[in-house]
Amino acid sequence: MSAKGTRMIRGAAIAIAVVAALSSGCASAMFPPHHVFHADRVYIYGRFLMQSDDNLTAAFSIRCRDGRRYKIEFSKDDVVTVIQLTPGVCQLEDVVYRSQGARREMASLRLLGNEHLEPGGVYYVGDFTVTGTIVDRTIEPNLGGFTMKTLTAWGPFAARNNYATTTNELRRRFPSFALVATEDRIPRQ
């Protein structure tokens, strides 16, 4: 391989690493069903379903006043998701969309609008579905070869209040939450 080809591959690898680092500014705090409930932590739960025809992803980015950020990743599986946070005042800050690259947008819906989350609190925030569709893909020439550009259309977030059903599934899927009190914090319009 030529020196120019090696530099191009190295440059592409560095660019991918930089994009990954910049787009992942939140800590993922999701955990598996065998996770044990801790009374000094806060838990947010709901369903976060991603409907797409490709490898598109989306995540809610929650920011707390202590400066910490957490993300709730949307899944292609329609299951209850739980994330763990530090107690404090938090809110949904923005939504991160990923297709070929990442894009961050200010959230257009209210979720945990600067609400105080108490230690031991287990809060239902709703069941959400988002759709993503690849509208167009083009290959454009550039100085070193070609670049693929992807145009993606994102559907609005559909929010549902299924507090009783989702809470029952939470208790079945996460046994350590079976006897813990929960609270409905779904956004009210």
Q: What is the pLDDT of residue 5?
A: 40
- For 87, other C-beta atoms within 10 Å of its C-beta total 16
Nearest to 59 by CA among 119, 113, 111, 15: 111
Nearest to 103 by CA among 93, 92, 112, 94: 94
The residues facing 72 across adjacent strands are 60
Question: Tell me: the pLDDT tens digits for 131-171?
Answer: 876 666 667 777 877 766 655 666 666 778 999 999 999 99
Nearest to 28 by CA among 96, 78, 126, 88: 96
> Rounded to whole angstroms, how far apart are CA atoms 166 and 103?
30
Question: Tell me: the pLDDT tens digits for 66-89?
Answer: 899 999 898 888 899 999 999 999
Q: What is the pLDDT of residue 84?
A: 92
Buried b (16+ CB within 10 A) or exposed e, 120-140: ebbbbbbbbbbbbebeeeeee
The shares of helix, strand and coil residues in the chain, as percent rounded to the nearest 5, are: 20, 45, 35
Question: Tell me: the pLDDT tens digits for 122-131?
Answer: 999 989 888 8
